[in-house]
Amino acid sequence: MFPPLTRAMAKQLYIETVGCQMNMLDSELVVASLRKQGYEVVDSPKRADAILFNTCSVRQHAEDKIYSALGRLKHAKKYNPGKIIGVIGCMAQKDQRLIFDRAPYVDLVVGPGQLHQIPELIQRVEAGGGQQLEVSLDRKGGSRSQVEQSFESYDPLRDPQMRPTPFQAFVRIMIGCDKFCTYCIVPSVRGPEQSRPPAHILAEARQLADEGCREITLLGQTVNSYKYADGGRTWRLADLLAELHEIDGIARIKFVTNYPKDMTDELLTAVRDLDKVSPYLHVPAQSGSNRMLARMKRGYTVEEYRDMLARVRATVPEATVTSDFIVGFCGETEDDFQQTVELVRASRFKNSFIFKYSERPGTKSVQLYPDDVPEDVKKRRNNELLAVQNAISEEDNQPLIGRTVEVLVEGPSKNAARDDDGSDALQLVGRTHCDRIAVFDGNRRQIGQLLDVAVYDANAFTLFASVVTAHVGPEVFQL
Ligand code: SAH
Ligand code: SF4
Ligand code: F3S
């Protein structure tokens, strides 16, 4: 028997994660595997024995941030030559050796399809093996099945401390993307679209429920394209939701991100009929101009997007819908942009994420069109669209004032977390089934509970509420 690791023996790991929920989940899995190797997670890179950056390549800005963080570590090994510095995730897959060229003190470059190798790669570095590079095949680096196999779906180990909260967890149902929108780097860094077997997903969800998870969020770049064929039966997302709904302990099921063209009536009916499935749909439109949508190769027209939205509203009237938009895509005129404004006005999204187009080397749009919208125009369009969206978000939150909503209490609000003095009474934050954020005064023991709160005010982003006191029945008076 080995003695248990004491604090002094444990090695310290600092991990910084940027990008989407896929990356948050990947970091959880990497941490789980490194804990087995004696690492504990710390929140400062200063004294850490290993520093990992889990990176994103979706926009230039995300990459710049990582390269400047790496720049700050230039002298980090002077005082601790054994310190291990690793770059993992999407930028590792995209830039590969270039990372060693730009930051020669990096020990480890590991793509998102090779994360399972990290514990072994770290051991190799520790044993003096030098720089380690593990990435998957390029999309054109072999046959479809060879490329597929080079992207490992990596989901067996979980780590409760790395989750958004102990009672909320992500569950990957597919990896990769085959849509190839012309602006997007994801299909090349995350590999071909592959759905996980339903049995694996269900087993993982059951395990999470046993560990006390109340909410699971299913992840996929185009989560509603989920398709798994086995033994003459084909599973779609609606089938998965029906099975997940049966798991005791799970109270809420969410799924992101949806591809507009794959929003089937069958799926919408499942959202309507299964109580645990949140009436909340993230279905990015990207643009309101058919000319832009065609250039983006999104595969639908604005009219088709609007029809899809009309089906959502007809089948699940209480559902909130959210979207992403790219402004300033190649050749976007003021008229194209105004069509996007028009779509936002008409669609009444709960909120929208708005991005300025960022040219990504290696994507189709770089070959096809010049990035010709000036930065200041992109910025102005971004602000204008955001203002239109925020006004709608605020307006649509007003009817909730005076109503009671059920929230899953996630933890201390941002303010309370900042000046937390450890007392039981504090401001809490929770989310409604529709993914609206509510803050209210409560008690620490309510964290993780489903709680009724009465809304007394609202702005574009937040509902302000108070906990509804438990109903006091006549039997109390008989005591
Ligand atoms: N798979 C998801 C999201 C992928 S990335 C989907 O298809 O909706 C998240 C968002 O980043 C996208 O929805 C898009 O709005 C934005 N995005 C992707 N590539 C971009 C680029 N090159 N420049 C700016 N924004 C981009
Ligand atoms: Fe990128 Fe399009 Fe795939 Fe989304 S669907 S990840 S935007 S290529
Ligand atoms: Fe970024 Fe990779 Fe996600 S590029 S958005 S972290 S899939």
**pLDDT one digit per residue (tens) for the chain, 479 residues:** 455 554 557 899 999 999 999 999 999 999 999 998 999 999 999 889 999 999 999 999 999 999 999 999 998 888 888 999 999 999 999 999 999 999 999 999 999 999 999 999 999 999 999 999 999 999 999 999 999 999 977 676 777 777 878 899 999 999 999 999 999 999 999 999 999 999 999 999 999 999 999 999 999 999 999 999 999 999 999 999 999 999 999 999 999 999 999 999 999 999 999 999 999 999 999 999 999 999 999 999 999 999 999 999 999 999 999 999 999 999 999 999 999 999 999 999 999 999 999 999 999 999 999 999 999 999 999 999 999 999 999 999 999 999 999 999 999 999 888 878 888 899 999 999 999 999 999 999 999 999 999 999 999 999 999 999 765 444 444 33
Nearest CA to 217 out of 167, 273, 159 is that of: 167
Index of the ligand 2 atom closest to the CA of residue 180:
8
Structure tokens at 136: 């998957």
Backbone angles phi, psi at 250, to 5 degrees: -75, 125
Q: Is the alpha carbon torsion for 221, 224, 227, 228 positive or negative?
A: positive
Distance 172 CA to ligand 1 centre (A): 18
pLDDT at site 478: 38
DSSP 50-119: EEEEEE--SSHHHHHHHHHHHHTTTTTTTT-TT-EEEEEEHHHHHHTHHHHHH-TT--EEE-TT-GGGHH
Of 186, 262, 292, the one to substitute when testing ligand 2's pocket (max ligand atoms within 8 A of C-beta) is 186
Enumerate residues 6+ apart whose C-beta is below 8 A from 271. 241, 277, 279, 281, 315, 316, 319
Report CA(329)–ligand 2 centroid distance (Å). Answer: 15
Ligand 2 pocket mutation, candidates 177, 188, 219, criterion most atoms within 8 A of CB: 177
The two three-digit tokens of residue 382, written as one number = 């971004």
Amino acid at 169: A
Ligand nearest to the CA of 284: 1
Q: Which of 28, 53, 58 to mutate to test the pocket of ligand 3 (most atoms within 8 A of CB)?
A: 58
* pLDDT value, residue 1: 45
Which residues is 41 bridged to in the sheet?
A: 13
Protein residue whose Cα sits closest to atom 1 of ligand 2: 184
Pocket test for ligand 1, best of 90, 183, 184, 389 (most atoms within 8 A of CB): 184
What spacing in Å lies between the alpha carbon of 131 and ligand 2's midpoint? 32
Q: Which residues line ligand 2 (CB under 6 A)?
A: 177, 179-181, 184, 186-187, 221-222, 259
C-alpha triplet 443, 477, 449: angle, nearest 5°: 25
What is the best residue among 17, 18, 20, 153 to mutate for testing ligand 3's pocket, by most ligand atoms within 8 Å of CB? 20
CA of 182 to the centre of ligand 2 (A): 9
Cβ contacts of residue 75 below 8 Å, gap of 6+? none
Domains of the chain: which residue ranges? 7-149, 163-278, 401-467
Residue bearing the CA closest to ligand 3, atom 1: 56
| Ligand number with the minimum distance to the CA of 61 | 1
Q: Ligand 2: distance of its center to the CA of 70 in Å?
A: 28
Instruction: Output the CA 178–ligand 3 centroid distance in Å.
Output: 14
Q: How far does residue 56's CA lie from ligand 3's centre (Å)?
A: 5
DSSP helix/strand/coil, 419: coil
User: 407 C-alpha to center of ligand 3: Å?
Assistant: 29
Locus of tokens 């999104």: 298
Confidence at residue 479, expressed as pLDDT on a 0 to 100 scale: 38
DSSP annotation of 223 reads: G
Q: Which class would CATH give 401-467?
A: mainly beta
pLDDT of residue 449: 94
Q: What is the CATH number of domain 163-278?
A: 3.30.750.210
Closest-lying ligand to the alpha carbon of 221? 1
Contact yes or no for 378/328 (Cβ under 8 A): yes
Pocket of ligand 1 (CB under 6 A): 58-59, 183-184, 186, 221-222, 257, 284, 286, 324, 326, 355, 357-358, 360
Q: Measuring CA to CA, which residue among 163, 88, 72, 161 is closest to residue 122?
A: 88
d(CA 445, CA 359): 47
Q: What lines the ligand 3 site, CB under 6 Å? A: 19-20, 22-23, 56-58, 90, 185-186, 189-190
Nearest to 57 by CA among 31, 30, 22: 22
Q: Which protein residue's CA is at the shortest distance from atom 4 of ligand 2?
A: 221
pLDDT at position 156: 64
Reported CATH class of domain 7-149: alpha beta
DSSP readout, 7-45? TTTSEEEEEEE-SSHHHHHHHHHHHHHHHTTTEEE-S-S
Rounded to the nearest angstrom, the distance between the alpha carbon of 258 and the centre of ligand 2 is 10
> Which amino acid makes up residue 475?
E
**C-alpha span between 439 and 409 (Å, rounded):** 9
Q: Which atom of ligand 3 is nearest to the CA of 185?
A: 4
- CB 157, CB 33: distance < 8 Å: yes
Instruction: State how far the alpha carbon of 193 is from the alpha carbons of 142, 151, 173, in Å.
Output: 15, 10, 11
What local confidence, expressed as pLDDT, does residue 471 receive? 53
Q: What does the pLDDT read at residue 217?
A: 97
